[in-house]
Amino acid sequence: MGWTVSQIIVENANTWRLSGELTFATVGALLTEFTQKVPPFEKGGSGGIKTPPKVLDLCDVTRTDSAGLALLIELLKLTKDAPIAFRNIPAQMHSLAAVSGVQGMLSSA
């Protein structure tokens, strides 16, 4: 079985893009990459990151599972002081969010 490179691409200070698969096999590395790309990764007074992107574009996500949904929820927790809006959320992820009862958490840009 082959593997897909999953990564976070910084388009500009406000927009980042996820590409590849958001699955159990990839989300740990993507979360680590996210925290390393937020310069500096400092916790604010209420626990949020100080300089996250405003939009995370999922246009290049090729496959996702419940771990991908969990990743987005974790990113929302990390950035609660300046929440991220998600753009181009895959239909599969919308379905998972609806079944899980968390669809309202995934704001669209």
Residue 52: give its domain's CATH number: 3.30.750.24
- Tell me the per-residue pLDDT of 64-109, one tens digit each, with 9 for 90 and over: 999 999 999 999 988 888 889 999 999 999 999 999 999 998 877 5
pLDDT tens digits, 4-24: 689 999 898 899 999 999 999
Indicate the number of domains in the chain.
Answer: 1
In a domain, 2, yes or no: no
The domain containing residue 24 runs over which residues? Answer: 7-105
Considering the domain boundaries, does residue 23 fall inside one? yes
Rounded to an integer, the average pLDDT of 60-66 is 96
How far the first Cα of the chain sits from its last, in Å, is: 35
| 40 domain residue, yes or no | yes
Non-local (6+) Cβ contacts of 14 within 8 A are 53, 54, 55
Q: What is the phi/psi pair of residue 15, to 5°?
A: -125, 125
